[in-house]
Amino acid sequence: MSWWITLARTMPVMVLLLLSAGSVIAGDYFGKLWSQKPSPALFAVALGWYLLSGFFYLPTLQREGLVITSVIWTVISTTGFLVIGLLLFNESLSPIQMAGVALGVVSLILLSV
């Protein structure tokens, strides 16, 4: 495990956050597939992606504060969740829900500045 921490220290925090958010987005993608057609394989793949997300995220905490890293991670992952939900799974949001998402993203951005 120490080899990973050593390697992660050479990577920019933003790269680690992008990899972490990307992993959880992939986990949600496979989790949604599993919810539509349950199978042990899809369940395991989703869990694997979720685990990988933490693997990338934890080293960021050694270099940046929890609030900043979690806010950036949340903005990136929320954007990804919206993309896969709306575009890949044809989910929809009411105008009020869209306004809520927009306000939520704005609030997260404001928290990070």
Please calculate the CA angle 65-79-39 and round it to the nearest 5 degrees. Answer: 105
In the chain, where the domains are located: 2-112
Query: Cα–Cα distances in Å, from 63 out to 72, 77, 94?
Result: 14, 20, 39
Q: Tens-of-pLDDT digits for all 113 residues of the chain?
A: 788 889 989 999 999 999 999 999 999 999 999 999 999 999 999 999 999 999 999 999 999 889 889 988 988 999 999 999 999 999 999 999 999 988 988 887 787 77
What pLDDT score was predicted for residue 56? 96
Nearest to 28 by CA among 70, 84, 79: 84
CB 20, CB 73: distance < 8 Å: yes
